[in-house]
A and B are shown apart, each in its own frame.
Chain A
Amino acid sequence: MRIVIAEDNALLAQGLTALLEALGNEVLATTEDAESFVTAAVTHRPDVAVVDVRLPPSFTDEGIRAALRAREQVHGLPILVLSQYVEDTYARELLADGTGVGYLLKDRVARVDDFLDALHRVAAGGTALDPDVVRQLLATRGNPLSRLTEREREVLAMMAQGYGNSEIADRLVVTERAVHKHVGNIFVKLDLPPEDSGDRRVLAVLTHLGAPQRQSRRPGPEAD
């Protein structure tokens, strides 16, 4: 994959570059602030961009804003945002911008396989949310979830992270048919339109849980 990185901490930027290049990717540019990141994204049009939330000059949420700005200029540019901590507000903002977005804790990079998996999903236009973000989002409007069984809640959390049925089956060590049944039950119990592609399902779940969505990206009116 061709990747652009925005990370102001030199150590982390080098580490990320080394990691990604060792795994056969091409790092097109490493930028240190929001402005040069947007420029690099427009120039290189990478397969996916990896962006730190905090960037100079203000070291607040420049990264989120830069990501949204870059997506305005390069339509649908897949972006994976990395952060030192999880904040569902940021996840809501990114998800409101549609699919091809991810939001992960920096810790997750250490689990190289999971990190790469998320990066690929985002690059393919899917969604990758940190389990902690998902936990926050699911905890927010807890009431409808009380109707779900323990297993169904597990499946829902993985759906919200962006996994498809087969991946969920692998991770929970059950058959895909079982997962399919759980998903069906969740959709019925939460009154969601049944959808199959991974990111559509994420959006459906999150719409239900109160994440703001753009009207045009709101999934499944045809299914109602």
Chain B
Amino acid sequence: MNNISMTRASAARSARAAGYCATVFVRGLALVVLVPVLMYSAVLCLVGVGLLILPHELRLLRRLADGERDRLGRWAAASTPPAGPHVRRRLMAVLSDPATGRDLRWAAAMTVAGTALGLIGAALFLFPVAVVVLVGLWWLFPADDPIRLILNVPIDSWGSAVYAGVPQFLLSVLLALFGPPLLARLAASVSRWLLAPSAAAVLAERVSTLDRTRTGAIDAHGNELRRIERDLHDGTQARLVSLAMQLGLAERTLSADPAAVGPLLTRAREGAEEAMAELRDVLRSVYPPILADRGLAGAVSAVVARCPVPATVELGELGQPGGPGGLGDVPAQIEVAVYFAITEALTNVAKHAHAGSVSVTLARAGGTLRAEITDDGRGGAAEGGGTGLRGMRQRIEAVDGVLRVQSPAGGPTVITVECPCGS
């Protein structure tokens, strides 16, 4: 019983391996065609035509290579994430993609190694069937040149078909069980070795990703600074200047016409109040005071309490206790980004979702701060629909976070925010 199930398991494994070998073989055949075409096009670059067709061929190559990367991931459980299609079509852009070089060397090696390994691997799986058929058909061969299979024993009668055929069949079964997995592993490791980026390349890509997000964060920060400067300069500062002027005027008027001073002072006080209100708005947009007072947990609870739609909040483990609201050391800019995202999401729910209830969860798992806002509204929230989703995304991405929106028509809408916050 046990033996049977073991055999069945190895047969299944062999079948999977043979399937993989077959795809390697087919890709190899495709490359047998594509590689010479590529080389020819490269030569044609000298006269210009190649410049136009080469990018398309490289895109095709990328599709083949990505198919292999994907297959590797599923078959050999080796993580070689697909490099993705080329975004731009200019030849230099395509060539400067580090994955293109890997595609090319893989293509060169696979025309020979892939085709051979793939063919043998797939064929070995069918070998027992061939043996049975050929042994059964011994009588079709001429008597002076009888069929000989793996062992050099002629099969020229039903007797020899049994005594030579059965061991040969068993041998072919063994080969079919263990051959394809071996060859598939070999082919897979060659592919992986050629397709997977080196540690240095992975690091370089990570650096360039970080570089991009960092540039985004610096831009966002710069824009924020300019906005604050403009708000203070055009609003508050201008109001204070006009306030000082009104007071100066009142001072001058005092001796000449005391009765006229009253309205001037009233206007001055009103100006001061307006300046204070504006200043408050600027401050709130920089760092909401409630965040400073109560921490992220307290601030989110306050927002939830204020939501016109019945709302619940669930605060998970948020960090080291001790800080205000138990949110010890979440960096301030991440607190602000998450807080504004939740505020904005709740505003959207109140305005657009037609929801009966909304729930907010906020928790920290290791180095990630995670917020989820779920409502039972009508769904269909779309970026660019004027619901502030894009602004939320920009804020979150500026702090290296991720924002996901699931909002099928008919609801429910789930907005997930994840930000790295140190550990």
* A is bound by B: yes
A residues contacting B by CB (< 8 A) are 53-54, 58-61, 84-85, 87-89, 92, 106-107, 110-111, 136, 139-143, 210
A10 smallest CB distance to B (angstroms): 19
A60-B292, A87-B289, A87-B290 are contacts. A107–B308 as well, Cβ < 8 Å?
Answer: no
Residues of B within 8 A of A58 (CB): 324
Contact A106 B290 (CB under 8 A): no
Q: Which of B221-265 contact A (CB under 8 A)?
A: none
B97 adjacent to chain A (CB < 8 Å): no
**Segment from B13-21, B62-70, B139-147, B269-277 that makes contact with A:** B269-277
A60-B292, A85-B289 are contacts. A107–B273 as well, Cβ < 8 Å?
Answer: yes
Instruction: Count how many chain B residues have C-beta atoms less than 8 Å from C-beta atoms of the other chain.
Output: 21
B354 adjacent to chain A (CB < 8 Å): no
Contact B293 A106 (CB under 8 A): no
Residues of A within 8 A of B280 (CB): 84-85
A to B CB contacts below 8 Å, 18 in the list: A58-B324, A60-B294, A60-B324, A61-B293, A85-B280, A85-B283, A88-B305, A89-B290, A89-B298, A89-B301, A107-B276, A107-B277, A110-B269, A140-B307, A140-B308, A142-B308, A143-B308, A210-B305
B5 smallest CB distance to A (angstroms): 64
Residues of A within 8 A of B294 (CB): 60-61, 89
Contact A141 B302 (CB under 8 A): no
B148 smallest CB distance to A (angstroms): 92
Residues of A within 8 A of B292 (CB): 59-60
Count of inter-chain pairs, beta carbons less than 8 A: 51
Cα separation A136 to B305 with both chains bound (whole Å): 11
Chain A residue with minimal CB distance to B284? Answer: A85
Contact A110 B273 (CB under 8 A): yes
Chain A residue with minimal CB distance to B301? Answer: A89
Cα separation A21 to B307 with both chains bound (whole Å): 42
A133 smallest CB distance to B (angstroms): 12
Cα separation A147 to B324 with both chains bound (whole Å): 40
Most-contacted residue by chain B among A53, A85, A87, A111 (CB, 10 A): A85
The answer, among B272, B283, B302, B308, for a CB contact under 8 Å with A87, is B302
Residues of A within 8 A of B89 (CB): none
Cα separation A110 to B298 with both chains bound (whole Å): 31
Sort A-B residue pairs by CB-CB distance and give the 5 closest, nearest first: A60-B293, A89-B302, A61-B293, A107-B276, A85-B289
Residues of A within 8 A of B301 (CB): 89
Known A89-B302, A140-B307; further 12 A-B contacts with Cβ < 8 A: A58-B324, A60-B294, A61-B293, A84-B283, A85-B280, A88-B305, A107-B273, A107-B277, A110-B269, A139-B308, A140-B306, A210-B305
Contact A106 B306 (CB under 8 A): no
Residues of A within 8 A of B272 (CB): 110
Contact with A along B278-309 (1 / 0, CB 8 A): 00100110000110111000100110011110
Chain A residue with minimal CB distance to B295? Answer: A60
Most-contacted residue by chain B among A53, A84, A106, A210 (CB, 10 A): A84
Residues of B within 8 A of A210 (CB): 305
Most-contacted residue by chain A among B277, B289, B302, B324 (CB, 10 A): B289
Contact B308 A141 (CB under 8 A): yes
Contact A140 B305 (CB under 8 A): yes
Residues of A within 8 A of B293 (CB): 53-54, 60-61, 87
Chain A residue with minimal CB distance to B276? Answer: A107
